[in-house]
């Protein structure tokens, strides 16, 4: 594994993509981390805000055998990691958010497919205390943290990111059925009313779970309908 850590960087995701060919001369598995990102990237190219006591990391990964399941697999493995090593129960929100057990957003995942052997994954996690942080309006379900009592230093950020990446590499989930079951068990909004934004059309229904390709299955007016690249909002 090749690991480069920066005090401050515009975006771990952009840096990794721009330097991928050179970095892959060192190793297949590449991890880029930073204490601070000034232009962190979220889903749909939105800005991912940096807070203190958070980790920002981007890394290479071989796509899941079903590539559309890759971000969901990363989410499942993150939940398992924080449960095993931090004894904290996190949940998942389709398609790529980490939530606290109270349903507050504490992390996000994005994936860029490069080729059949490489996905560049970006992962941001609010790990420790974020007191005083301003939660922008685009956090639809509030701003959360894995453990509000934690205070982490730059060395911790580097170490935790490395440990998480190695955990992901060592615990890949190859079975679509196993991944489907794990995601549904960890999903915060399973069985709940949700709003799906699909090609400028908003539809409401009950979230049933995910399919074997990672699609959301939502029951609308008695019919189960699949959604692949939509945005989902929980209805309180």
Separation of alpha carbons 56 and 15, rounded Å: 12
Average pLDDT over residues 200-216: 94
145-168 tens-digit pLDDT: 999 888 888 899 999 999 999 999
* pLDDT, mean over the chain: 90
pTM of the shown model = 0.91
49-85 tens-digit pLDDT: 566 788 999 999 999 999 999 999 999 999 999 999 9
> 55 vs 9, 128, 148, 199, 213, CA distance in Å?
13, 9, 14, 32, 29
What's the CATH number for 2-185?
Answer: 3.30.930.10
Separation of alpha carbons 110 and 215, rounded Å: 16
CATH topology of domain 189-234: SH3 type barrels. (2.30.30)
Average pLDDT over residues 173-192: 97
Residue 70's H or E segment, with its range, is: helix 70-86
Q: Strands, E, within 91-192: which ranges? A: 91-93, 97-99, 105-115, 118-126
Order of strands across the sheet that contains 223-227: 223-227, 216-220, 201-210, 193-198, 231-234
Q: Report domain extents, the chain.
A: 2-185, 189-234
Kindly indicate the confidence band of residue 33, based on its pLDDT and cuts at 50, 70 and 90.
very high
- Over 80: is that where the pLDDT of 138 sits? no
């Amino acid at each position: 594994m090749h690991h480069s850590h920066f005090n401050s960087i515009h975006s771990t995701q952009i840096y990794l993509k721009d330097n991928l060919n050179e970095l892959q001369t060192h190793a297949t598995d590449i991890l880029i981390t930073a204490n601070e990102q000034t232009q962190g990237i979220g889903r749909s190219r939105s800005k991912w805000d940096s807070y203190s006591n958070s980790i920002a990391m981007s890394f290479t990964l071989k796509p899941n055998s079903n590539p559309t399941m890759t971000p969901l697999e990363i989410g499942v493995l993150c939940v398992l990691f924080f449960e095993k090593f931090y004894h904290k129960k996190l949940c998942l929100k389709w398609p790529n958010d980490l939530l606290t057990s109270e349903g507050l957003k504490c992390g996000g995942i994005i994936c860029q497919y490069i080729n059949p052997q490489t996905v560049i994954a970006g992962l941001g996690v609010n790990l420790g205390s974020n007191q005083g942080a301003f939660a922008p309006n685009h956090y639809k379900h509030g701003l959360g943290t894995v453990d509000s009592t934690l205070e982490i230093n730059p060395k911790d950020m580097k170490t935790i990111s490395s440990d998480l990446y190695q955990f992901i590499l060592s615990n890949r989930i190859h079975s679509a059925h196993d991944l489907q079951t794990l995601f549904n068990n960890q999903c915060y909004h399973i069985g709940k009313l949700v709003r799906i934004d699909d090609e400028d059309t908003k539809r409401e229904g009950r979230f049933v779970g995910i399919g074997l390709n990672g699609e959301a299955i939502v029951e609308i007016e008695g019919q189960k309908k699949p959604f692949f690249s939509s945005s989902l909002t929980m209805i309180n």
